[in-house]
Amino acid sequence: MELVVRPAKTLNGTVSVPPSKSYTHRAIILASLARGTSMIYNPLYSEDTLASIEACKRIGAEIITGKDNDLQIKGVFGRPQNPKDEIDVKNSGTTLRIMTPVCSLCNEEVFLTGDESIRKRPMQPLLDALEQLGVSTTSNNGLPPVSVRGPLGGGKCMIRGDVSSQFISGLLIASPLAAGETDIKVLTDLKSRPYVDLTLDIIEKFKGSVEKCQDSFRIPGEQIYESTNYVIEGDYSSAAIMLAAAALTDSEVSIDNLQLESKQGDRKIIDILRFMGANLRAEGNTITLTGSGDLDGIETDLSDTPDIVPAVAVLGSLAKGKTLIKNVGHLRFKESDRLKAMTTELKKMGAKIKEGKDSLEIHGVDALKGAKLHGWNDHRIVMCLAVAALRAEGESTIDGAESIPVSFPGFVEKMQGLGADMTIKT
């Protein structure tokens, strides 16, 4: 499928962004491990979160979709069942990396696999940590498919923090249910730290206990998660894409369903846009951006917020002066190598962008040109290239549009509602 985009001078209207994918994953998994029945209100239904639902059903959770699309989840009381067959996480790296430690609570071997993209995602740091905690593991030279055989008993482990914060989130979610105390020491700088903070926040909501130090975590064993009713907030990663589109055009766009005090690290997009000169105002749970397309380049460290890097790269491509995005080498281990993907595709559009080992250096241009673009089978790449195409001269086509529902079902329709000329071509 291709996404066809034509330039737009203005965007106007109010739009709701999808619920947070990160919170939805974690709420589903924690409710599935808890004692009793939880209600998850306003969950995101995307290909990724559906993978977590199916994985949790495989370990014994009973999950029912209610009339308002809320989720009713009866948990396994801290004792996940041994799945009869392998767990297929499809394209969901979050499901894979959290459910691998969860499945290590089982006392029989559990296999986890996924699609072609997932089978290229590194898992060795997580598997090494699980081995230190007494779990037997196998993999394809550190890549999926993987298997784990527990039960996870606690102990001490060390793990790198510069590949994926999801490794640590998975350990933090599973370890309270281990037989003994677990001590996790992070050996390197922890990239994407806000995602770990988000995990700790929701663990607390389900009555779990984790003691956090500067570079380590202590988790008492034999805990039980308690069922709870939980409302999923709006997703700042998705909001970043819509706000970038508004900032690059002569527009007034309001986005509701956003908690201004959210623990989501990607709320940093608000500060970035202000530093670049965009006019934003907040009222209640609504953020309004009045755009003119007139932005200034910035230097910014996005090590903690990798999901907004593609959007900031597009903003920098059309901003005055130089934009430098630093400390983002871990983007090479996402659904695609996102540094290479954005550099390659934006160059096709006439952007002046240079890829470093862990950075992007961009010198803004007045306008981009329409082009035939590759979406790298990556939902964020496709959507952010679509935003760039709004400020291009001529039509752009982006392949891989079928990946968009991984995180943002309804993206094209919402952009059309704001006045964008976007269509899906099969």
Q: Active-site positions?
A: 307
Distance (Å, whole) CA 328 – CA 326: 6
Lookup: tokens for 11: 């965007």
Lookup: tokens for 190: 């922890």
- In 92-234, DSSP assigns E strands to 110-113, 136-140, 143-149, 155-159, 182-186, 211-212, 216-219, 229-231
CA 395 to chain centre: 29
Distance (Å, whole) CA 103 – CA 85: 12
Lookup: tokens for 343: 């550099």
| Partners of residue 231 on adjacent β-strands | 41
In terms of Cβ atoms closer than 10 Å to its own Cβ (0-12, 13-18, 19+), residue 106 is buried
Distance (Å, whole) CA 366 – CA 391: 9
Q: Which H or E element spans position 4?
A: strand 2-6
| Partners of residue 41 on adjacent β-strands | 231
Q: Are 98 and 199 in contact (CB under 8 A)?
A: no
Who contacts 83 (Cβ-Cβ below 8 Å, separation ≥6)? 58, 59, 103, 106, 110
Lookup: tokens for 27: 């709420």
Q: Are 23 and 95 in contact (CB under 8 A)?
A: no
Who contacts 81 (Cβ-Cβ below 8 Å, separation ≥6)? 59, 60, 106
